[in-house]
Amino acid sequence: AGGGQLLNKIRKWYYNAAGFNKLGLMRDDTLHEDDDVKEALKRLPEHLYNARVFRIKRALDLSLKHQILPKDQWVKYEEDHPYLEPYLKEVIRERREREAWNKK
């Protein structure tokens, strides 16, 4: 049990050290937009997509101004949920299935 707590502390430290949360970004906002991610983004419900666009635009604006959000507005490790992951997993599964089918 103690090892799990240590690992969680390291994860939290690394999450905060990465710095994207200080710009109001979530982990899934920072994914490289390859073809799979682009397709997953198309499948996002509109409210999730709009929230992502807002976070990214705000982060770009802050970055250009060399600023970060006030600490109370940082995305917390516990609040960062993988909103894109279910859609991305589905896209990858479909692509692999299609590739396997085309090999036949």
Burial (CB count <10 Å: 0-12, 13-18, 19+), residue 91: buried
pLDDT for position 94:
98
Euclidean distance between CA atoms 39 and 35, whole angstroms:
6
Q: Do 22 and 74 touch, CB atoms closer than 8 A? A: yes
User: Look-up: residue for tokens 């960062």?
Assistant: 80
Domain topology for 2-103: Cytochrome Bc1 Complex; Chain F (1.10.1090)
Q: Do 94 and 42 touch, CB atoms closer than 8 A? A: no
**pTM for this one?**
0.87
| Residue among 2, 6, 10 at smallest CA distance from 77 | 10
- 64 or 2, which is more confident: 64
pLDDT for position 67:
98
What is residue 45's three-state secondary structure?
coil
| Residue among 22, 30, 31 at smallest CA distance from 76 | 22
Confidence of residue 1 (pLDDT cuts 50, 70, 90): low
pLDDT for position 4:
85
